Structure 1
Amino acid sequence: MSGPIQTILRRVRRGSRDVVENAVSQLFDAAVQPHGVADSGEYRIDDLARLAGTTTRNIRVYRDRGLLHPPLRVGRIALFNDTHLTRLRLITSLLDRGYNIAHVKEMLSAWEQGKDIGDMLGLESAIAGSWATEKPQRMPLTAARRLIDDDAGFDRLVSLGIIRLEDDEHATIVRPTLVEAFAEIRQYGVALDKLIDLHERVTPLLDQISAILVQAGLEEVVDKINPGAAVPDDVEVAQLITTLVRFRTQAVTAVGATLAFSIESQVESTVAQLLGEMIEKTAEAAGE
């Protein structure tokens, strides 16, 4: 990581608690303003969707679910304002972070009632977001061993951090989706040892991809900060946090689509090669 980036991160980190708390607080404050507060923009639903990076269908869903305040009606035209735009961006950000609509509504309602952002999200969530695609599952140790059904494999998963032993009686499946995938593939007769071997081979490659993507996202954010200036104001920091959150979501989608396409191409090529070899062997046998 380059020197200017490290300098910026150190500066932000030193005041991260106050800066991030204030940033998220200000974002929530703007999002829950009651309709009628003076706003600088008026938008039709199509314009609002474009500015917020969402769809008109989503906006209607959020209105029906009570997440967005009603628009101003001028005849048959529904006009939204900057309060709607700020709130909509916050809703989109929270949904991208893994919260569902019910949770978002609950958090917005709690904020309107004066609850502290730290109580609702926690500082860690405010900074990094609830990005985890896998939620760890704690269970009795006996249940975890029964789930894996392979003592040697269980020990390897523990050593890799996929399973964490809490005490003599409990364990946490840190990567439940991965363990579930292993279980599905094992039904086809693939040994757990082979699956773990594959995981160990693939993980460093995925880490390299992740490092490239995260660096790209970081550079995109840092480009918006002047290294010689003071730490940006709260609103700008909140916008930068939102940028990183949305970058993560789109990066995962892009990599997933690329990986799926690559695997499909490899499978098609492999199947074609196998069929070709079978046909060739059949022809040779018939000619004997």
Structure 2
Amino acid sequence: MVGRVSVDTGSSKGAGVANLAGAAPYADRVAQIDDGAPDEPAREYRVEELAAAAGITTRTLRFYRERKLLPPPRKEGRIAWYGPAHLARLRLIGELLERGHTLGGIAELIGAGESGQDVAELIGLEQAITSPWSDETPVRLDWAELATAFGDQLTEANTVESLAQGYITATDEGITHVSKRLLDATVALLAEGVPLAAVLDASRKAQEHADAVAEVFVALIRDQLLGALHTDSPLPPGEAAHLTEQLHRIRPLARTVADAQFGLALDRRVRAEYEGLLQQRRQH
């Protein structure tokens, strides 16, 4: 959505300001990592030894070094020596990756910490941007349950279309649907006699229109509120926290606007359809 903040997280509702306390330990470690790792013995590592100590491959370590995620090693002739600070940095990178951060985002956090910026605030802002805006609950069904729910409409074509739309993932044991609410709505429509193929066709069209609406809202936030993230200049002190608070106030508005606009659109379309039907009946 934005250029400078590209970290993805697996956090859900409550991210952002509420998670600054959880981000603080990482922020302290990012900011202080180059002071060394006092809990580690004062020893040095060759590249293979450092990779083994960090639990990664030498190829991954060299990739991190190329991405400038590690400070330069001490050179002794042609031999590169790494110290406890390098090992601490690698362990921090691993923990941040497990939390869902991208390497690009980790590089930015490290750079921010080294330049004295408030890393906890940046992490909170990233979480406010990238944590899920939906609150859908995935649901898993085995193939027997699917057969019971969909009967003879569980065809190969319908399964392929569902996979293509991204709503389900399939294994030998069954499927996982991204939204229990959407799955329940599909089953309810089938119970009313609507064919699954027709539901999937409508779903594809609705997804396309929903993506367009989301792009409008994202563009509004990006252009009107997050312009500071598109520059190379560091954010002013307190700006990340301010943007985080704004995003948390705006998040509910996205759902409110979408729900209101969809309801009004239904009013217009149903009224027009009904008037057209009445006119058609009068003509006959």
SS, match of residue 225 in structure 2: helix
Comparing 251-260 with 239-248, which one deviates more in the overlay? 239-248
SS, match of residue 164 in structure 1: strand
Aligned mates of 1:240, 1:205 — CA distance in 2 = 28
Aligned mates of 1:214, 1:21 — CA distance in 2 = 18
The answer on whether the counterparts of 2:146 and 2:154 sit within 8 Å (CA) in structure 1 is no
What do you get for the CA RMSD once the two structures are aligned?
A: 3.6
1:63 corresponds in structure 2 to none
Aligned mates of 2:195, 2:240 — CA distance in 1 = 48
1:237 aligned to 219, 236, 240, which one?
Answer: 240
1:25 aligned to 20, 23, 26, which one?
Answer: 20
2:77 corresponds in structure 1 to none
2:193 aligned to 185, 189, 192, which one?
Answer: 189
Cα deviation, 1:139-160, whole Å, max 9, x if unaligned, reads 3232234333322223421232
1:168 corresponds in structure 2 to 172
Cα deviation, 1:208-250, whole Å, max 9, x if unaligned, reads 22112112112233235582531444x5323323323432321
- Structure 1 residues 202, 275: closer, same or farther in 2, change over 3 A? same
The answer on whether the counterparts of 2:168 and 2:176 sit within 8 Å (CA) in structure 1 is yes
The answer on whether the counterparts of 2:17 and 2:244 sit within 8 Å (CA) in structure 1 is no
Q: CA deviation at 1:176?
A: 2.3
Q: Which amino acid aligns with 1:280?
A: Q
1:136 aligned to 135, 138, 143, which one?
Answer: 138
Q: Does 1:177 align with 2:181?
A: yes
Stretches (4+) displaced over 4 A: 20-23, 26-29, 122-125
Q: Unpaired segments of 5 or more residues in structure 1?
A: 30-117, 282-288
Aligned mates of 2:168, 2:230 — CA distance in 1 = 43
TM-score (norm 2): 0.52
TM-score (norm 1): 0.51
Q: How does 1:1-288 map to 2 (within 5 A)?
A: 6=3, 9=4, 12-13=5-6, 24-25=19-20, 126-127=127-128, 128-149=130-151, 150-152=153-155, 153-165=158-170, 167-224=171-228, 227-233=231-237, 235-281=238-284
Q: With a CA cutoff of 8 Å and minimum separation of 6, indicate the structure with the bigger relative contact order.
A: 2
Q: CA deviation at 1:254?
A: 0.7
The answer on whether the counterparts of 2:140 and 2:176 sit within 8 Å (CA) in structure 1 is yes
Aligned mates of 1:145, 1:132 — CA distance in 2 = 28
Q: CA deviation at 1:188?
A: 2.6
SS, match of residue 169 in structure 2: strand
> Percent identity between the aligned chains?
19
Q: CA deviation at 1:252?
A: 2.0
> What is the total number of aligned residue pairs between the two structures?
179
SS, match of residue 139 in structure 1: strand
Aligned mates of 2:227, 2:214 — CA distance in 1 = 20
Aligned mates of 1:213, 1:198 — CA distance in 2 = 23
The answer on whether the counterparts of 1:139 and 1:171 sit within 8 Å (CA) in structure 2 is yes
SS, match of residue 212 in structure 1: helix
Q: Which amino acid aligns with 2:138?
A: P
Q: CA deviation at 1:278?
A: 1.8
Q: Unpaired segments of 5 or more residues in structure 2?
A: 10-14, 25-94, 102-125
SS, match of residue 229 in structure 1: coil
